[in-house]
């Protein structure tokens, strides 16, 4: 289903909400959440960090709004000397957690897919995990949730990391990301992660909108100041 069809099926109520995010509000300086840029070096202590960015949009790199923001973050972080590994959850070979508990929350997973073979070793070694998602029905994409559920196989070993959230959506209302951010904050508590920032790209339902928004620069600055 493309975005136009999503809007059509949403009916007039949803159409009004999403169109308000699609243009008018963002052009008129509609409500947005400004991410806090950390003090230079306060997150990394001045050392090079291992950073894993997990993109989850099924859109092409050239069309995706969330990947546009995450790329700005990557450029900022790499420019500051950090090592960044980018995983594309939408293109990778992934399986949802089977709930079999063969891992006993301590690995390995029964699946030998890209999560187990490629992403998990990088995550275990990472200082900072960056979760990137388009807002899908007010929460994270299924592509990202698939990754999150697979944390189960190494829950304890993934504790005590730093984390960041990058998200985009059509809606420009201040509550658009409430469910997503509540989930993310709860995840941080459970995983004992320290949140280093949330870039919430409201009113960014199309590439042209995100490109002229403040959000890519917010993400770049966070990356550059870690
Ligand atoms: C399945 C689906 C569900 C969506 N749900 C929402 C939603 O709940 N709220 C919203 O504001 N936008 C919603 N959108 C719009 C996307 O969040 C928006 O187009 C976003 O910019 C896409 O990011 P991407 O290009 O990185 O994939 C939805 C889009 C799709 C395809």
| Probe target for ligand 1 pocket from 72, 169, 206, with the most ligand atoms within 8 Å of CB | 169
Residue 29 C-alpha to ligand 1 middle, in angstroms?
A: 20
pLDDT digits (tens, 9 = 90+) for 10-65: 443 343 344 343 333 333 333 346 788 998 998 998 999 999 999 999 999 999 99
| Probe target for ligand 1 pocket from 56, 205, 208, 210, with the most ligand atoms within 8 Å of CB | 205
- pLDDT at residue 220, rounded to an integer: 98
Neighbours of 38 (CB within 10 A): 16
Neighbours of 178 (CB within 10 A): 13
Q: State how far the alpha carbon of 78 is from the alpha carbons of 41, 90, 94, in Å.
A: 14, 23, 27
- pLDDT at residue 33, rounded to an integer: 60
pLDDT at 168 over 70: yes
> What values do phi and psi take at 56, rounded to 5?
-140, 10
pLDDT digits (tens, 9 = 90+) for 60-118: 999 999 999 999 999 999 999 999 999 999 999 999 999 999 999 999 999 999 999 99
User: CA dihedral in degrees (151, 154, 156, 157; nearest 10)?
Assistant: -110
pLDDT digits (tens, 9 = 90+) for 177-222: 999 999 999 999 999 999 999 999 999 999 999 999 999 999 999 9
Residue 206 C-alpha to ligand 1 middle, in angstroms?
A: 9
- pLDDT at residue 61, rounded to an integer: 98
Class of domain 54-225: alpha beta
**Domains of the chain by residue range:** 54-225
pLDDT, averaged across the chain: 89
Q: State how far the alpha carbon of 118 is from the alpha carbons of 77, 114, 124, in Å.
A: 21, 5, 11
User: Looking at ligand 1, which atom is closest to the CA of residue 135?
Assistant: 17
Q: State how far the alpha carbon of 155 is from the alpha carbons of 110, 189, 226, in Å.
A: 15, 12, 25
Neighbours of 132 (CB within 10 A): 30
Identify the residues whose C-beta falls under 6 Å from ligand 1. Answer: 3, 6, 18, 21, 57, 59, 64-67, 134-138, 168-171, 176, 204-205
Residue 58 C-alpha to ligand 1 middle, in angstroms?
A: 11
What is d(CA 222, CA 200) in angstroms, rounded to the nearest whole number?
13
pLDDT digits (tens, 9 = 90+) for 121-167: 999 999 999 999 999 999 999 999 999 999 999 999 999 999 999 99
């Amino acid at each position: 289903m493309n975005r136009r069809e999503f809007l059509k099926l949403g009916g007039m109520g949803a159409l009004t909400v999403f169109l308000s995010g699609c243009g008018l509000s963002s052009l008129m300086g509609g409500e947005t959440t400004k991410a806090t840029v950390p003090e230079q070096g306060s997150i990394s202590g001045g050392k090079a960090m291992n950073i894993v960015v997990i993109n989850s949009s099924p859109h092409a790199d050239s069309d995706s709004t969330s990947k546009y923001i995450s790329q700005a973050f990557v450029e900022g972080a790499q420019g500051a000397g950090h090592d960044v590994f980018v995983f594309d959850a939408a293109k990778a070979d992934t399986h949802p957690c089977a709930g079999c508990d063969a891992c006993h929350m301590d690995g390995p997973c029964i699946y030998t897919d890209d999560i187990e073979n490629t992403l998990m070793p990088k995550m275990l070694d990472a200082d900072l995990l960056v979760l990137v998602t388009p807002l899908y029905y007010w929460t994270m994409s299924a592509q990202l949730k698939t990754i999150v559920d697979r944390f189960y196989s190494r829950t304890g070993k993934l504790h005590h990391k730093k984390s960041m959230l990058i998200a985009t959506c059509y809606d420009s209302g201040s509550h658009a990301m409430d469910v997503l951010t509540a989930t993310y904050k709860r995840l941080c508590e459970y995983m004992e992660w320290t949140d280093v920032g949330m870039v919430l790209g409201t009113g960014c339902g199309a590439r042209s909108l995100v490109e002229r928004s403040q959000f890519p620069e917010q993400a770049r600055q966070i990356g550059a100041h870690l």
